[in-house]
Amino acid sequence: MFENFDWIGAMRNSPVMLVILGCSILTLGFAIERAIYFFRRRGNPGSVMRAALEKVRDGNLKEAIWTCNSTAHPMGAVAAAVLRHAHLSEEAREDQLQVSLSEQRLQLERNLGVLGTMGNTAPLIGLLGTVWGIMRAFHDMARTGSAGPSVVAAGVAEALFTTAAGLLVAVPAVMLYNHFMRRIAVMLTVAENHSRSLRVAMEDAAGARRDGQADAVRDRADAPARRAA
């Protein structure tokens, strides 16, 4: 059906098609950029968390922070921020966790607004092309004084072509936008869950160390009495 269609002529005669072509280029470019970005940030949060947990339980917070920073996954930056602020109060640590998650969300959502805009705007641009084509068909009818198929064919073809082109841009843009937003939600959920697990382990390790120190103090205090007995 499209092998005999004059694509170059349609682009040249319809300014709306030039706008849709620009939208398609923007959609493709930002989709590729985001796909590469998410691929580079996939990391391996599970193995990193297990390694960091071992170091936290051993009391090596600095090594745990280095381990977290070794992954590009958002979990690494969020968990490292939580461990760095271990000396703060419970409320302050929770605030720091939320701040770190918000910073990671901003990075992950960068340029996704373009895909969302293209998904919502491209059909409207295609509709504008439909109106433009119908107006052209009526103009040709008025100019020639005839309503024959050969007279209105160009305008009607332009109207239908721009509508289809707008949908061809919008559908992939919406699908990609939803896919990336789903990936963002999963990555941030993993980052939050692993960071909270590390914080709990850090608090348990600190409590165990305090209990050990208290037992040692009691043993030293009871030592003279045991020797006297």
- Is-contact 56 198, C-beta < 8 A? yes
* Token pair belonging to 15: 């300014």
- Is-contact 227 77, C-beta < 8 A? no
> What are the distances in angstroms from CA 9 to CA 59, 80, 187?
71, 57, 46
Q: DSSP character for 43?
A: -
- Which residues, 6 or more positions from 97, have their beta carbon under 8 angstroms from its beta carbon? 78, 81, 82, 192, 195, 196, 199
HEC secondary structure over 119-134: HHHHHHHHHHHHHHHH
Instruction: Report the distance separating Cα 164 and Cα 16, nearest Å.
Output: 12
**pLDDT one-digit tens code per residue, 150-198:** 656 666 777 788 888 899 999 999 999 999 999 999 999 999 999 998 8
Q: Is 5 exposed, middle or buried (0-12, 13-18, 19+ CB in 10 A)?
A: exposed
Q: What is the pTM of this model?
A: 0.79
**pLDDT one-digit tens code per residue, 100-152:** 999 999 999 999 999 999 999 999 998 888 887 777 777 767 777 665 566 56
Q: What is the CA radius of gyration of the chain?
A: 31
Closest CA to 75 of 42, 107, 106, 117: 42
pLDDT of residue 152: 64
Domain that holds residue 59: 7-221
Has residue 226 been placed in a domain? Answer: no
Domain count, the chain: 1
**pLDDT one-digit tens code per residue, 3-61:** 555 556 666 667 888 888 899 999 999 999 999 999 999 888 889 999 988 888 888 88
Has residue 26 been placed in a domain? Answer: yes
Has residue 229 been placed in a domain? Answer: no
Has residue 27 been placed in a domain? Answer: yes
Instruction: Report the distance separating Cα 92 and Cα 90, nearest Å.
Output: 6
